[in-house]
Amino acid sequence: MAPSVNEPPARNWADDDDDVELDAANEATLGLPETVTVEQPDGTRVTTLWKINDDGKKVKVVRKTRMRLIKSQVNHAVAERKNNWKKFGEVAGIGAGPDSNSTSFAEKVFLKLSSTVKDHDAPPVEEEGDSLKKALAAAAKSKISCRICQGDHWTSKCPFKDTHTPLGDLGNNEAKDSGSDAGAPAGGAGLGAGGKYVPPSLRNRGPGEAMPGSGSADRRDDFPTLRITNLSEDANDQDVKDLVSRFGHTSRVFVSRDRETNVCKGFAFVSFYQKDDAQRALEKLDGFGYDNLILHVEWAKSSRD
Amino acid sequence: MRPILLHGHTRSLTKVKYNRDGDLLFTVSKDAKPNVWFAHNGERLGSYDGHNGAVWDLDVSYDSKRLLTASADNTCRLWGVESGKELFRWNTRTAVRQVAFAQGDRMALYVTDATMGQPSTIWVVAIEEDLENQSDEFERKIIINGPKATVASWGDLNKTIYTGHEDGTITIWDAETGEKIKSVKSHDSVISDMQWAPDYGYFITASKDHTAKIFDAKTLRVMKTYTTQRPVNSAALSPIRPHIALGGGQEAMEVTQIGGAKQGKFETRFFHLPFEEEIGRVKGHFGPINTLAFAPDGRSFASGAEDGFVRIHYFDDDYFEFNYEEESLTA
């Protein structure tokens, strides 16, 4: 706990602990060149030191450091505490700065905030019936109602948001239709009002509805979207999310799955908030080897084109 | 971000708390030695030596001069924050679970456990500016008939006292008369934490029933519910973003060696306050997180866990830039 004898008393807390050990090692092994610190014109400091490593070989260590002074204004009470208060209790008498016995830096951790976090600890399959009941009960109580299918989720999370327009814009028949089969893939809603076949390009258009792109409901479709193909069968939403989230925030990650087997069908759509992020993702991921397949990435064509 | 790891405790953490300025972080654990740290670099300023049992709770005065600690050694103690000296001691018959300064720091409450035939009791005591006059007499005593109180705090303007109980009930007491004003049972299990919004309009509770809830302070109506798959030990409200942080994880006694840290879900989980959706999580602890606190400026948070470590996390810049699609549309 007490500082070692040869340790300079005014050691900066930010110094790496290894330095002390290296210095000690230096003194022990005579004949090595001395540690040299050179101040560079650009403000960086280059420290060169020599040591003997575990295999008995001479090693040169060059360490470049840049010091940056960050000033911040604080309340005078805070400054008083920081500058004048003496340590007490278990740490009484120890010099200023964090003691390496009680304070250290942990491994880097990441907090990527995103609206598409998937819950890994969803209950396992055997509890499915139970959790379904709970979900249904919760749905009955919940006041959240999707504007598109009136399901128990936010409108932006609706599985039909790309294919349907909000219910208010449609005939009542259609409303019941799509509302009742919530959960089935969007393709199930192929029959329009009156059971007449409607070509996909014209589906979900109520009378007098605005052309795509002009309505406010279409705004979320404007996010730049990539289509990733040649995905591995094992890929799930989280994998794809991990893969693309390093390029920027994503508004949507969708991995196409087989209806029966729930296995990935080999392609996915990813929408970014920023076009630049999408562009970078496209450049970096196209041709990227992933799970022994080579990904193919291209701009997704809008479903309305 | 690179967390600062504080290992000044030898046993599991029970509470971490920032002072009002956010420059000091107080931590208490079951090892009987409260610690105080500089929050900006993790330097330990000192320890408050004297307790002989687990320390369950702490509170620090508004001017950061005095510290109250609640301990299982049947004492509640008042300390000088700078000196580390014990200034006063209240002896109790049972373990002290909770302690809180009232706004203005002229009063404090502490809650004693229901053991050895004693009922769970809230004690309100006056805190004198001049310690010469400090008395160990209580001002008021509220005996809790029924399930024992696990969390307690003052309501707005010290008019009320809020308690959370073992069975999931939340009760409001009149601080003047000691009468029960309202009682609502919205949780199914022990309430493990309760933290106020800055304006005292609402508060958040964490419970072992795997949920955290936001309550309207006046009506005790549940406004939001955040559901997880593990007991929630602590819930904190961000002072600047519409985010909450939940800490918890599998009970320490149920953790198997084979499962390891991965299975226990020992992560700090961030939820979006109005949307009730999870937006991110921070890994790092090896045991359930017992206590969480946001720094008053909202730019960092500290977590204390069953593994005996405290971690201070300073958010990266992108934390402050994150917005929901819906949020950015209105902005």
Task: Give the per-residue pLDDT at A277.
Answer: 86
Does the structure show a pLDDT above 90 at B39?
A: yes
Distance, in Å, from the CA atom of A178 to the CA atom of A185, rounded to the nearest integer, reads 10
Task: Give the per-residue pLDDT at A19.
Answer: 52
Does the structure show a pLDDT above 80 at B27?
A: yes
Residue A208 token pair: 């007098």
Task: Give the per-residue pLDDT at A160.
Answer: 72
Domains of chain A (ranges plus CATH)?
1-109 (no CATH), 144-216 (no CATH), 219-299 (3.30.70.330)
User: A117 or B119, which is more confident?
Assistant: B119
Strand partners, B15: B28
Domains of chain B (ranges plus CATH)?
4-330 (2.130.10.10)
Task: Give the per-residue pLDDT at A233.
Answer: 85
Distance, in Å, from the CA atom of B166 to the CA atom of B251, rounded to the nearest integer, reads 16
Task: Give the per-residue pLDDT at A245.
Answer: 84
Does the structure show a pLDDT above 80 at B263?
A: no
pLDDT tens digits along B48-86:
999 999 999 999 999 999 999 999 999 999 999 999 999
Chain B residues with beta carbon closer than 8 angstroms to that of A216 = none
Tell me, what DSSP letter sits at residue A184? B
| Site from A72, A84, A88, A154 to mutate, B interface, most B CB atoms within 10 angstroms | A88
Listed residue (B68, B40, B251, B202) closest to A70, CA to CA? B40
Task: Give the per-residue pLDDT at A145.
Answer: 72
Average pLDDT over residues B275-291: 90
Which amino acid, residue B83?
A: S
Instruction: Give chain B's mean pLDDT.
Output: 91
Residues B166 and B119: beta-carbon distance below 8 Å: no
The residues of chain A scoring below 50 in pLDDT are 1-8, 122-128, 169-193, 208-219
- Are B21 and A78 within 8 A, CB to CB? yes
Task: Give the per-residue pLDDT at A136.
Answer: 61
Chain B nearest C-alpha distance from A102 (Å): 5
State the first-to-last Cα distance of chain A, in angstroms, to the nearest integer: 70
Does the structure show a pLDDT above 90 at B260?
A: no
Distance, in Å, from the CA atom of B236 to the CA atom of B88, rounded to the nearest integer, reads 30
State the first-to-last Cα distance of chain B, in angstroms, to the nearest integer: 27
The reply to whether B148 touches chain A by the CB within 8 Å rule is no
pLDDT tens digits along B139-165:
999 999 889 999 999 999 999 999 999
Computed over its alpha carbons, how large is the radius of gyration of chain A? 31
Count the helices and strands in chain B (H runs, E runs): 3, 28
Residue A246 token pair: 């390093």
Task: Give the per-residue pLDDT at B208.
Answer: 93
Chain B nearest C-alpha distance from A216 (Å): 11
Computed over its alpha carbons, how large is the radius of gyration of chain B? 19
Q: Which helix (H) or strand (E) holds B103?
A: none
Listed residue (B158, B159, B161, B216) closest to B186, CA to CA? B216
User: B207 or A71, which is more confident?
Assistant: B207
> Percentage of residues in chain B with pLDDT exceeding 90?
78
The vertex-B295 CA angle with B285 and A96, nearest 5°, equals 80
What angle do the packed helices A275-285 and A237-245 form, to 10 degrees?
100
Q: Nearest CB to A106: which of B5, B47, B270?
A: B5
Residue A221 token pair: 């479709």
Distance, in Å, from the CA atom of B273 to the CA atom of A187, rounded to the nearest integer, reads 34
Task: Give the per-residue pLDDT at A218.
Answer: 45
Residue of A nearest to B80 (CA): A88
Distance, in Å, from the CA atom of A205 to the CA atom of B50, rounded to the nearest integer, reads 75
Q: A with B: how many residue pairs have Cβ under 8 Å apart? A: 142
Listed residue (B262, B258, B235, B239) closest to B248, CA to CA? B235
